[in-house]
A = this chain, B = another copy of it.
Amino acid sequence: MSAELWLTQLHENGYRVTAARRAVVETVEKSTRAVTPLEVYDLGRKKYRALGLVTVYRTLEKLEELHLIQRVHQPMGCQAFISMGQGHQHLLLCQNCGQAAFFEGDDLNPLINSIARKTGYQINEHWLQLFGLCANCR
SS of A interface (majority): mixed
Stretch from A11-19, A41-49, A51-59, A127-135 at the B interface = A127-135
A111 and B106 within 8 A (CB): yes
Contacts of A130 in B (CB 8 A): 112, 115, 121, 123, 125-127
Kindly identify, within residues 112 to 126 of chain A, every residue whose CB is under 8 Å from any CB belonging to chain B: 112, 114-116, 118-126
Protomer copies? 2
- B105, B115, B131, B134: the one contacting A92 at CB < 8 Å is B115
Question: A120 to chain B: closest CB distance in Å?
Answer: 4
Question: A67 to chain B: closest CB distance in Å?
Answer: 13
CA distance A67 to B33 in the complex (A): 29
Question: A72 to chain B: closest CB distance in Å?
Answer: 10
